[in-house]
Structures are given as C-alpha cells and as structure tokens.
Structure 1
Amino acid sequence: MIKFGTGGWRALIGEDFTKENVQTLSQAVADLLKARHCAERGFVIGYDRRFLSDKAARWIAEVLAGNGIPVFFIDKVAPTPLIMFTVKKLETGFGAAVTASHNPADYNGVKIFTDGGRDATETVTDEIESFIAALDPKAVSRIDFESGLQNGLIRPIDPFNEYIDTILGMIDTEAIKNRKLKVILDPMFGVSKTCLQTILLTARCEVEVINDRHDTLFGGRLPSPSTHTLQRLRDMVVERHYDIGIGTDGDADRLGIIDEKGDFIHPNNILALLYYYLLKFKGWKGGVVRNLATTHLLDRIAAGFGETCFEVPVGFKHISSMMEAQNALIGGESSGGLTIRGHIRGKDGVFAASLLIELLSVTQKSLSELLEEIHQQFGYFYMVENDCRFKPQDKERLQKLLFEDKALPDFGYAIARRSYADGVKVYFENGGWVIARFSGTEPLLRIFAEMDNEAAAQAVGETMKTFLTV
C-alpha cells in the first residue's frame, strides 16, 4: 500500500518501503508528469541520511530516466528545504526528497514537491495514487543509474552554494557579525550541519556542533527536536554559556530552540518571536498563517499590529497556499516548521534558525527577554499534547463518535463554536481551545489543548483523551 499523508509517503523499511514499491511510486510519478505535459522540464531528486535513502534516490532516478525524463540528482545528502529550493530555482515543476523526516529510524519515505518548491497538494498525491492503482508492476520502465549518467538523462548537481548564498542574502549578516554570538548546533544525526554551520561561520558566530556523525539509528532517539530529545543540548547551553542552542530534525525542515537559560522554546513561541520581530523591528507588513493546532498567540500579535491571522488545516501545503493567496508575511505550525514571504513555499529549519540569529543580533536582547516582552503585551498561552494511540479496528468507532455522532465530553467551559475542517476543534468562549484529529502518518489521534494557564490546558486535554479511550 502506498498512501500519502500530510508529510508525504512514509512506511516501515522492508515492510512497505521496498525497492518494488519505490519503483512503482516512481513510475506513477513519471506517468503523472507525462499526463501534465511537464516531463521535459525535468525532476529534482535529493535524499537524507536514513537507511536506504541514497539507494532509493537512485531507484527513483532510474525509473524517471527510463521514462525519458531528465533527472537533476543532488549527489550528496541534502536538507529537504534545499531540495525544495532547487525545484524552485530550476523551475522543474516537480521534485522529491527521500526522507521520513522525524519518524523513527525504521521508517523511510518520499516527499513530493511541485511548482515553486512547495509540498504536493492532495490533488497531486491523489492523482499519483490513482496512477499506482492502475499500474501493472511489470510496466515499470527503468535504466540503470550509470547508463542514465552516460546518456545525460541523470545529471548530478550541487546546489549548496546557491541555497546558502540565498539565505545569507536574506539576513542581516553585518548585525550578526557585530553581535559575536555563541551558538551550539545539534543536527540530531541529520543533514543540517553543512548548510547551517556554513551560514553561521560566515556571519562570524562561534559555533560548536554535536551529534553530527552519520548514524542511521539517530543515536537511539527520535530525530524530532523536543524538550526530551534535546536534553544534552540544553545542558551544554547552560554549562558553556551559549546564547542559543539550535536543534533540527532528520531532514532539517523543522527546528527546536534552547534559550540562553537552557529552557526549550516551544515552536509556537518561535513563530511568535519571529512574527513579532518582523513586524516590530523590521517594520514589515502582512498577516500570519497557522494551522488549527497552532497557538492563538499569533492571532493576538496580528491584531495588535492591525494584521490578520488565517487558520488552515494541518499540512504545510495548506499554509503555503494560504500565504500565497493572502500575501501573508509568515506561516508555520506547532511542530516546528515555518517559512516567510519571498523564500521557498515550504518549511525550512535552516532559514528559520538563521533568522533567529538575526533577531538576537538586531534586538540586542535574549530570547527569554523578547518572549517575556511578547507575553506582557499579548498574554500567556499554554499548550499541551495528549496523543491517543488506537488499534486499526478502533478507527471506525472513533470516526463515528467524533464526526457522525459529533459527541463531546463536558469540558467545564462554555463553547463558542466547533469546527470539523480537520478533525474536531472546540473553541471556548474564554479564548481557549482543544482539537482532536487523526495523524496523517501514524495510528493515533493527536490531541492539542491551549488555555491561559497550564493546569487548565492539561485538564482539557486529558478530558478529551479520557473521552476517546472509554
């Protein structure tokens, strides 16, 4: 089974992520490009450090080349945002990253990108799935990788310099040079080191890097930056007096931040910091786009500057589409992914980290000082997550409960309205909210709750979880 979720196709290695399935997916993509009459524009392929990523990237290239489609093959491990940038730069229309992002080490997958370097929409992935359903596996056309190189259909490229120079051109490097920041970077055994370290050193930061070796098991941790997985980074920031600690996930499209006190800065607050900085200190104009599981602090900041906050379903493709439609300044999500107007139309942890370094340099304030300044103006918001894992046979019961019966527990707060745009989201009259939605990549219900104090958020989230597990 090849089914796309919010973050592409992801599957267990050796179970569904197999050579045959990767080749089948590749043939379906080739068929789609031909059907859309854009095959001649070519296709960008890149890969991360996961087990089989390099080989799977070659499998994809062999099938596309076998279908006469030019392949621009990034010939070393690359961050996902760099691959998206290359799709945009080369105007290929389509591209792919072999990655399972922040999933456990025994997963791998493929993310598909479309025109302008954005995540494929559901329309595109549905088309790919329909081509897969109609495909005879014996009909896969391919040539071996070396033959593709020789006939020019597979073209090795190295877009690193252009990507790095583009980011350097978008940030205030002179301000950063004058601040002389001490930065510690944790790539989490992923692919951000080369790009991010080069940017930081060019801007004259003092940089130390940990967890940068090639380890397909990610050091035994989930390659997702969080308060638990970045414990070593937290300790080192405090012990060695760094101004900031930066962690990036396996494919470097998301980040986690440790402030100068060793506190983990929730991705919600990273978004708030950057939006506030762009509006107040850089004087830029524009709204903000967030998904419906991301903090409403952004709504308050937007309103405070006469701007608008736009809410969309989960999936960065929805964020990038709304940003384009509304000419929004910034868009992001509570899982740590964001981008700004004028950059790629997808998440970029390398660029986001670079912009945070600029923020520290221009404001001459620490992260904790800036965050407190924001909370003093716009209030405090506390979010908790209480995921509910379920067995496959329970999914139908849960769907009926939530979306047919539309049943809800008594939260103890007056309800202003409900939304079923993506899962079920309950908006309380006091400004708080709770949401339960099915994960697009794992068998679980994601439950988020946000209130003006942590105890209330915990209670609301636990009430929803208890209700669903009865």
Structure 2
Amino acid sequence: MTTTVATTPYEGQKPGTSGLRKKVRVFAQANYAENFIQSVFDVVGPVTGKTLVIGGDGRYYNRTVIQQAIRIAAANGYSQVLVGKGGILSTPAASHVIRKYGASGGLILSASHNPGGPDEDFGIKYNIANGGPAPEGVTDAIFARTQVIDRWLTVEAPDVDLDTCGSVAVGGMTVSVIDPVADYADLMETLFDFAAIRAKVAAGFTMAFDAMHAVTGPYAVEILEKRLGFAPGTVRNGVPLEDFGGHHPDPNMVHAKALFDLMFSAAAPDFGAASDGDGDRNLIVGRGRFVTPSDSLAMLAANAHLAPGYRAGLKGIARSMPTSAAADRVAEALGVPCFETPTGWKFFGNLLDAGMATICGEESAGTGSDHVREKDGLWAVLLWLNILAVRGQSVDAIAREHWQRFGRNYYARHDYEGLPTDTANALIAELTAALPGLPGKSFGPLVVASADSFAYLDPVDGSTSANQGLRVLFEGGSRIVFRLSGTGTEGATLRVYLERYEPAEGLLDRDTPDALADLIAAAEAVAGIARHTGRTAPDVVT
C-alpha cells in the first residue's frame, strides 16, 4: 500500500555537474534525500512498468539511502529495481547495467573522489536511459521540482538484504540484487586483448593498482588478478570501506602518494595505476614517469587501434575545455574531429550517441569511450595495459615517442580550496570584466593572443552552455584557464589550469614546474589571486 508523506522544500537542492552533493549531515535531515529522489521520479515520470538501477561507491550512508530509494521507487510504480550486491556499483558499471538491461535510468549514490564518513560527503546523481548523467534540461527540471515539492511516496516494507544476490518483492515491484562486477568485467573482455595482456603478465610484467579502499577494489581483483593473472596483492587497498580508510579517494600525486613514491623508487613495478571513489577516474604512472590525464587521453587516442574494440578507428575525440590541447593534435593526425566541451561528462553523451566521438577525456583524470556513457577508470587502465602488451615498450618510452611526434603540453592544475564563495565570485567577476583588454598585453615573455569566457554550442542538439570558464590564450599555443569547481560541498574551489606547448623540436624533458614558471607568474598578474584570496600558493597541485 502506498503511503503519502507530507513534506516541505529544502533550499539548495540544485544538482551540479555530478549530481547533488552535500555533507552526510545535510542528507540525514528528515525528508532531505526523499525530497530529492521523489523530485527525480516526478520529473522523469511516468515510471510505471519501468526498470531502475541503483548502486553506489560504498561510502557511508549509501545503504540507508538505497533502502529508502527502493521503497520510493516501488511507490511510484517502477516494475523492477536492479541494485548491486552490497549496494555497490561503480559509476561506469552502473552506466553499463542501465544500457545492457534497458533500464529507464539509475540512481548513483556517490560523491566521487570526495572523502566519505559520518562527517564527510554524500551525493545522488540521476543517469538517463543512455547510461549517462542527466542533461541540464533534466537537472534544471529536478531542481525546479525540489523548490515546490510537498509530498513523497513510499511503501511499507522491510529492508532488502543487499548482501545476497537474488530477487524479492517490495510492494508490487521486483528488487533484484545483482553481481556488481560480472557484467562490467565481461564487457572489458570484448574491448581488450586479454590474451596479449595475460602473455605479458606471464612473461614477468608487474603492476600495482591502488583501489583506495573505494569501489573499484572488487572490479580490479576480478579483472587484474583473476582474469589477467597478475599476482595476488597487485590490487592494494582493495576492500571498499565506508570512509575509504580515512583517506581522500582522489587518484593524484597528493592522495595516492604511496603509489607515486613506489613508482619512482628502485622497487617500482612496470606499471602503476589507481582509481577514485566511484571508479570513474584514473591515475597512470609508469616506472619513473607520471602521465598527466591530458597526455593520457592523447596517448590512448593515438594507440587505441591496438585494442580489438577500437581497430576500426576513432570517429572523433572529445575533451573538456580545461583539458590540454594534446588530444587536438592527435585528432588532426588521425583526420578526425576534436570537440572542446564544457566540464562535465554529460556533455560528451550527445557526441557519443550521435556517433561523432569515440574517446573522451577530462583533465581531472576522467577518460572513457563509447562503450558506456560515463568516464571509466579501469577502462583506461586496461587500454594502457593493452597498448603496453602490444608495443612491448615502457610507459616512459611511449610517452617520449609521443612527444617527439606531437610536441609536449606541459600541464598542471592549481586548486585553491575552501574559498569563501563571495571571494571566489569577486575574483571571477573582476577577471571577466578585464578579458576584453587583455589581447596584445605581455606578461613576461608571454603575449596574450585572445581571452574569453568559454561558451559551447552543442553540435547535436543546438543548445548553448555559457560561462564555462575563463580562457587566456597566448601566442604559440600556451594558455591559462580559470574556473570555479562544482564538485565540492562547502565553499568554493578556484581551479587554475596552466598549459605550455612545446613543439616536437623543442625542450621535451623539462621539469613541469620550471616549464610553467612564466605561466604561474602570469596567472597571478592577470587574476590577482593573492590579492583576492590572501593565498600565496595553491592548496593542491596536480
């Protein structure tokens, strides 16, 4: 029997680029999560007779919200819910399950790379039937609904045993608890040459994978250790924990320091990799060689034809605007288009669905292809393994050959975290006003060629997304991008992206901080970061 629960709206339930993210204590308020979930169903309905996928990254509060979401789904008329065992589904695996089983959409309970625990972060994201994040039209409608919602629906039912695969009835709806790993692992076997990788492993190739006590642990154990034959223990921190072991599950040189230290030591294996909280980001580091996410996208695109799933070639490459232009040069060499989109994987969905792009990537360690509609950390790791197995070279050798052909985009991101929102907005407003006067100005040896606020015209549906970041482009191909992040839960994060292009005949083996020194100085001169924020250095450099 359906029960109607009266409620009142909460302010601020506006989904960002990756759904609604707040502190656990915010979600734990009476009716808070329920209001948002009901608003989703009200907007995407009618849902009668349809299938919904539910899963998450295993963080604290996942199980509580999953049980409530199941009851709300039953009350709204869904015929079936597919939920990962233990409440677990990596974001790319959830995308695949939505697509494979013809679900109308899915709820992904994650705050991605943000920390987890009772005092940390939680999130809910809705993905549509193509397996990708809901587009802006849908998220705007969800937000509008949250502002007027006055009731949510539920059914009386005991909690579902999430730790046992099988089907049970909740109301008139079937809840199927499924193996969260099997469908995804099977898909990977269709894309990559597992036999070639197994042979490489059997010949002594070694790796270290840091799952960061997050969702990819079970996936990595199944694929890397069981199917590909890497030694037990290759997957480190492989058990998902509600607080990620007290660590920050962001695969970068700061939060995956133990892996970085290993890969630059005498004991380094041949290959190192990591993934984040919900499994959609990746870190690639060879013995003595870190590959930036922007370079990884370009190198994967240049070598994708070595994997069975991509032997037919690429239809196009897409990158987010803050991602370096390294992939643009690969696209030009391949004779395929390269699309520059706003940050947020949902912008790639239209291109992938239209068959205009095959491989996509973001500088924030997200890379993926048309196999799902999300970025996919393990996919990137497996494509690298496929390339290494076929080429028989080290990560360092492949990187050096790539730069000798295409040139090198020295690249870094400087994050100023936890800024007062009004301070961050004032900095961006002042810089926006100054953009028209920047072309022609010199900052040290750098001369501004153009400056703008990035806007994107979607070539598929004709929609426009404005104010997506501020760009200062210099003569010779270098640039600085300023952008406020939408993935945090408190305050504002200013991201400053620094990119120096060095042509193939130039200096290709400089230390990145040295190569970017002129751009770092120019960023301060252009934006007045210290003057606005009082910060003389970024909190995180990646």
* Distance of 2:26 and 2:170 partners within structure 1: 33
Cα distance change on mapping 1:224 and 1:464 into 2, 3 Å: farther
Q: 2:321 maps to which residue?
A: 292
* Distance of 1:405 and 1:419 partners within structure 2: 10
**1:109 counterpart = 2:123:** yes
TM-score calculated relative to the size of structure 1: 0.92
**1:149 counterpart = 2:169:** yes
Higher strand proportion, which one? 2
- The 3-state SS of whatever aligns with 1:184 is strand
Which moved further from structure 2: 50-59 or 233-242? Answer: 233-242
* Distance of 2:424 and 2:267 partners within structure 1: 48
Aligned length: 465
* Distance of 1:223 and 1:411 partners within structure 2: 40
Shift of the alpha carbon at 1:19?
5.3
Shift of the alpha carbon at 1:450?
0.4
* Distance of 2:154 and 2:25 partners within structure 1: 22
* Distance of 1:457 and 1:258 partners within structure 2: 25
* Distance of 2:411 and 2:130 partners within structure 1: 33
Q: Deviations over 1:441-463 (max 9, x none)?
A: 23122111101333233333343
2:214 is aligned, of 183, 187, 190, to: 190
Q: Which amino acid is 2:228 matched to?
A: A
Q: 2:5 maps to which residue?
A: none
Q: Deviations over 1:344-381 (max 9, x none)?
A: 01111122211111111111111110000000111111
Q: Does structure 2 conserve the Cα–Cα contact (< 8 Å) formed by 1:187 and 1:193? A: yes
2:149 is aligned, of 131, 135, 138, to: 135
Shift of the alpha carbon at 1:311?
0.4
Percent identical: 27
* Equivalent residue runs for 1:50-89 within 5 Å: 50-69=59-78, 70-76=80-86, 77-89=88-100
Q: Mind listing any 5+ residue stretches in structure 2 that lack a counterpart?
A: 1-11, 161-167, 456-467, 502-514, 533-542
1:12 is aligned, of 23, 39, 47, to: 23
Q: Does structure 2 conserve the Cα–Cα contact (< 8 Å) formed by 1:320 and 1:331? A: no
Q: Deviations over 1:373-429 (max 9, x none)?
A: 000111111112223443123355335324456477756233333332212112222
Cα distance change on mapping 1:407 and 1:386 into 2, 3 Å: farther
Q: 1:423 maps to which residue?
A: 469
Q: 2:191 maps to which residue?
A: 170
Q: 1:379 maps to which residue?
A: 407
Q: 1:204 maps to which residue?
A: 229
Cα distance change on mapping 1:126 and 1:158 into 2, 3 Å: same
1:438 is aligned, of 481, 484, 499, to: 484
Q: 1:449 maps to which residue?
A: 498
Q: 2:284 maps to which residue?
A: 257
**1:43 counterpart = 2:52:** yes
Q: Deviations over 1:286-312 (max 9, x none)?
A: 321001100111111211222222101
Cα distance change on mapping 1:469 and 1:123 into 2, 3 Å: farther
* Distance of 1:344 and 1:228 partners within structure 2: 29
Cα distance change on mapping 1:99 and 1:17 into 2, 3 Å: farther
Q: Which amino acid is 2:410 matched to?
A: Y
- The 3-state SS of whatever aligns with 2:357 is coil
Shift of the alpha carbon at 1:139?
4.0
* Distance of 1:284 and 1:140 partners within structure 2: 48
Q: Mind listing any 5+ residue stretches in structure 1 that lack a counterpart?
A: none
Shift of the alpha carbon at 1:313?
0.6
Cα distance change on mapping 1:214 and 1:205 into 2, 3 Å: closer
* Distance of 2:266 and 2:65 partners within structure 1: 41
Shift of the alpha carbon at 1:464?
4.3
Q: Does structure 2 conserve the Cα–Cα contact (< 8 Å) formed by 1:45 and 1:96? A: yes
Q: Does structure 2 conserve the Cα–Cα contact (< 8 Å) formed by 1:256 and 1:267? A: yes
TM-score calculated relative to the size of structure 2: 0.80
